[in-house]
């Protein structure tokens, strides 16, 4: 800085104090006669008015104390006279030698990322350490270190180790929406029912529990698997509720037979009239039997399709109410007592060119008469395929 001054030669007067070299004091005002607490020769600098003064004399008596300050000049180009700081004593003024010390420091996390702190002739520039915060807050930013096991740092650029993509922030399952990790950054993978998760090192293994060789695992309406089997020589079926089950075929010729009343069951076929069934290992032989079964009748009898009847006395045989096309029924009359063959509702019996009435009948004349009837659904009529005797339709 440049200073313009007027001649000044401090002279110590009687009773005055002097110091060599003189002191330097700085204030924001000019000195006055009451500022007598200094040595003669002290330099007073007004940092606001940019002027400086010298204490030329002190008058001290028992009743009076007077300081005589002289204006020495003005500061035309000002250097740093003082430094205002954020915290601590402010302003900070230079030492008598004009020195202000600047220091750097790192302090604990707080609410001021960067600040200047004053102390006498020293200004410390402080940077705070960073801290964990839930949302962005500029007042709480600070210096941080990076874990070298998890991050790469090259020329100030930070990236995750093991990939250039983003870190996992959430996981979304079939239900529940996005799930965030715990406070420790952990996601739990937990099985339910018959599914368990086993962890080892950095591997998670999802596995089914209760597995048995040759067994079938099925869901029984819950998250838990039910073990079926092993069952020797069995097939997979299900009951009325749809729950799977193993049904054993315990003997030759067995089949799975369905039911509207319950679960399917293993059973063998039943031979009908004129049919024989032979069951073997992995085989079923069905064939016609060597003879046809005949049934003796008398009185009122309900005939069935495929039936063979011998009338041994007076008899009335009513034909089936719901026959199928091609159904056949045969009759033999063994006595002179009449056999009446009765058509059912809506049916007609045709013998040669003779026709009964609707729901009418046909009657034998004597022993030895025979009749074979075949049903035609096209004309709803029982037609005589063959016959012997004088049959009378009505």
Q: Is residue 56 domain-resident?
A: yes
97 and 56, same domain (yes or no): no
One pLDDT digit (tens) per residue for the chain, 394 residues: 333 333 334 434 434 455 667 788 989 999 999 999 898 889 999 988 888 899 988 888 888 899 999 998 887 655 666 788 788 888 888 786 668 788 877 778 778 887 888 888 888 888 888 888 878 887 777 788 878 877 787 887 877 776 566 667 788 888 878 888 887 777 788 877 677 888 887 788 887 776 665 566 666 556 566 667 678 888 888 877 777 888 888 899 999 998 888 888 889 999 876 788 999 998 999 887 766 789 999 999 999 999 999 999 999 999 999 999 999 999 999 999 999 999 999 999 999 999 999 999 999 999 999 999 999 999 999 999 999 999 999 9
Name the residue range of residue 320's domain.
295-393
Q: Is residue 330 domain-resident?
A: yes
Tell me, rounded to whole angstroms, the distance of Cα 362 from its chain centroid.
78
User: What torsion, rounded to 10 degrees, do the Cα atoms 116, 119, 123, 129 define?
Assistant: -50
CATH number of 330's domain = 2.60.120.640
Indicate the number of domains in the chain: 3
37 and 119, same domain (yes or no): no
304 and 364, same domain (yes or no): yes
List of residues 6+ apart from 97 with CB closer than 8 A:
none
- Residue 118 CA to residue 100 CA, distance in Å, equals 10
The percent of the chain in helix, strand and coil, each rounded to the nearest 5, is 0, 45, 55
Q: Is residue 90 domain-resident?
A: yes
303 and 360, same domain (yes or no): yes
- Token pair, residue 93, equals 């003024």
31 and 98, same domain (yes or no): no
107 and 23, same domain (yes or no): no
User: What torsion, rounded to 10 degrees, do the Cα atoms 129, 135, 137, 142 define?
Assistant: 20
Q: Which of 38, 58, 75 is the last residue of a domain?
A: 75
The greatest distance separating any two alpha carbons of the chain, rounded to the nearest whole angstrom, comes to: 185
Among positive and negative, which fits the CA dihedral 217, 219, 223, 229?
negative
380 and 308, same domain (yes or no): yes
47 and 97, same domain (yes or no): no
């Amino acid at each position: 800085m440049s200073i313009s001054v007027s001649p000044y030669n401090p002279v110590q007067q009687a009773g005055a104090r002097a110091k060599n070299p003189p002191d330097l004091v700085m204030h924001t005002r000019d000195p006055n006669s009451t500022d007598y607490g200094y040595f003669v020769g002290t330099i007073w600098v007004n940092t606001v008015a940019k002027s400086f003064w010298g204490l030329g004399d002190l008058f001290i008596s028992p009743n009076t104390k007077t300081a005589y300050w002289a204006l020495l000049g003005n500061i035309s180009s000002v250097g740093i006279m003082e430094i205002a700081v954020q915290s601590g004593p402010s302003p900070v003024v230079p030492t008598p030698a004009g020195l202000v010390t600047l220091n750097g420091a790192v302090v604990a996390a707080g609410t001021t990322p960067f600040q200047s702190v004053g102390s006498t002739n020293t200004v410390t520039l402080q940077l705070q350490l960073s801290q964990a915060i839930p949302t962005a807050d500029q007042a709480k930013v600070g210096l941080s270190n990076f874990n070298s096991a998890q991050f790469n740092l090259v020329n100030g650029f930070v990236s995750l180790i093991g990939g250039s993509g983003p870190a996992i922030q959430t996981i979304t399952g079939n239900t529940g929406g996005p799930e965030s990790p715990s406070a420790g950054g952990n996601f739990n993978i937990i099985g339910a029912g018959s599914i368990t998760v086993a962890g080892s090192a950095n591997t998670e293994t999802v596995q089914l529990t209760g597995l048995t060789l040759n067994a079938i695992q099925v869901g029984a309406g819950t998250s838990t698997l039910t073990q079926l089997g092993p069952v020797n020589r069995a097939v997979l079926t299900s009951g009325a509720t749809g729950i799977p089950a193993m049904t054993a075929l315990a003997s030759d010729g067995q089949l799975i037979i369905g039911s509207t009343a319950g679960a399917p069951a293993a059973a063998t076929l039943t031979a009908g009239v004129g049919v024989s069934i032979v069951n073997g290992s992995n085989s079923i032989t069905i064939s016609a039997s060597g003879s046809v079964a005949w049934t003796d009748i008398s009185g009122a009898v309900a005939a069935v399709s495929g039936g063979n009847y011998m009338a041994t006395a007076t008899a009335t045989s009513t034909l089936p109410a719901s026959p199928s096309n091609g159904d056949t029924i045969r009759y033999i009359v063994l006595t002179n007592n009449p056999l009446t063959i009765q058509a059912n509702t809506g049916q007609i019996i045709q013998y040669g060119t003779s026709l009964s009435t609707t729901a009418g009948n046909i009657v034998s004349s004597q022993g030895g008469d025979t009749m074979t009837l075949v049903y035609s659904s096209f004309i709803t009529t029982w037609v005589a395929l063959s016959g012997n005797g004088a049959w009378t339709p009505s």
